[in-house]
């Protein structure tokens, strides 16, 4: 919300509109969009005041430079044409505006595999590392700041990768079990965004693009 204060905001892949409603408390206006008709219908039922459109994030139905902020969380891993997706983001954001996106970090959720490997999650087309996502975004944005959520140590990530290279299922299950075991100790600060770079890996990658 700190990026959306007084802005015209697009929330693409909005789902049932939970995030859009949060952003609307700060933004001047929020337009929500999703490719799933049932999600759009649910969002419209939840709030009659929301403007919710059916649409594709790789073919956005808006003129150039329409929004001060474009928010699209947990989307790019579902998109077949990721290059077109980021070009569309650049196209519809005003000069000086901001594109905010997030995606799971493959090194943790699909350990031991590459960008070209099929993810364990059948609904994902591909999953990225921090460096791969940043490189893609920098093809169209001059400024890309990478953040992350849910920190895991470099040592843990290396061990997980070694397990995943032997067995995709074992790598995925090992991380899921680690998360379940740690749930009683979970605290909000653990999920606050941080700058990767200490060697630790975030489970969720966040990018602030301008």
| Contact assessment for residue 55 and residue 75, using Cβ atoms and an 8 Å cutoff | no
Task: Give 10-residue mean pLDDT values along the chain (210 residues).
Answer: 95 95 94 96 86 96 97 97 98 97 97 94 96 97 96 94 94 94 83 83 96
DSSP conformational letter for 80: S
Work out the widest C-alpha separation in the chain, in whole angstroms.
51
The neighbouring-strand residues paired with 105 are: 128
Instruction: State which H helix or E strand residue 69 sits in.
Output: strand 67-73
- Phi, then psi, of 162 in degrees rounded to 5: -65, -40
CB of 65 closer than 8 Å to CB of 35: no
Residues 66, 10: contact at Cβ < 8 Å? Answer: yes
Residue 119 and residue 110 in contact, taking contact as beta carbons nearer than 8 Å: yes
| Cα dihedral: 192, 197, 199, 201 (round 10) | 40
d(CA 130, CA 172): 18
Q: What is the pLDDT of residue 86?
A: 98
Q: How far is CA 122 from CA 36, 73, 112, in A?
A: 17, 18, 17
- Which CA distances in Å does 189 have to 87, 149, 164, 185? 34, 10, 28, 11
CB 19 within 8 A of CB 11: yes
What's the predicted TM-score (pTM) here? 0.93
Per 3-state DSSP, what percentage of the chain is helix, strand, and coil (rounded to 5)? Answer: 35, 25, 35
Tell me the CB-side half-sphere exposure of residue 88, using CA atoms within 13 A: 20
**Cα(175)–Cα(61) distance, integer angstroms:** 39
Please name the residue that has the structure tokens 């943790």: 108
Angle (CA) 55 87 102, round 5°: 75
Neighbours of 87 (CB within 10 A): 14
| pLDDT value, residue 6 | 95
């Amino acid at each position: 919300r700190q990026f959306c204060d007084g802005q015209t905001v697009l929330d693409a892949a909005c789902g049932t509109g939970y995030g859009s409603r949060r952003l609307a408390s700060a933004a001047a206006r929020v337009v929500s969009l999703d490719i799933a008709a049932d999600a759009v219908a649910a969002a419209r039922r939840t709030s009659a005041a929301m403007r919710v459109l059916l649409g594709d994030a790789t073919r956005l139905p808006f003129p150039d430079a329409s929004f001060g902020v474009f928010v699209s969380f947990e989307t790019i891993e579902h998109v077949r044409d990721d290059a077109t997706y980021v070009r569309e983001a650049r196209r519809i954001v005003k000069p000086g505006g901001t594109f905010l996106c997030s995606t799971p970090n493959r090194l943790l959720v699909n350990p031991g595999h590459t960008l070209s490997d099929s993810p364990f999650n059948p609904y994902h087309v591909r999953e990225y590392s921090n460096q791969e996502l940043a490189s893609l975004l920098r093809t169209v944005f001059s400024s890309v700041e990478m953040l992350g959520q849910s920190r895991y140590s470099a040592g843990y990530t290396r061990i997980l990768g070694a397990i995943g290279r032997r067995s995709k299922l074992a790598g995925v299950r090992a991380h899921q079990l680690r998360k379940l075991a740690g749930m009683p100790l979970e605290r909000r600060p653990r999920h606050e965004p941080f700058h990767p770079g200490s060697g630790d890996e975030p489970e969720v990658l966040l990018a602030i693009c301008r």
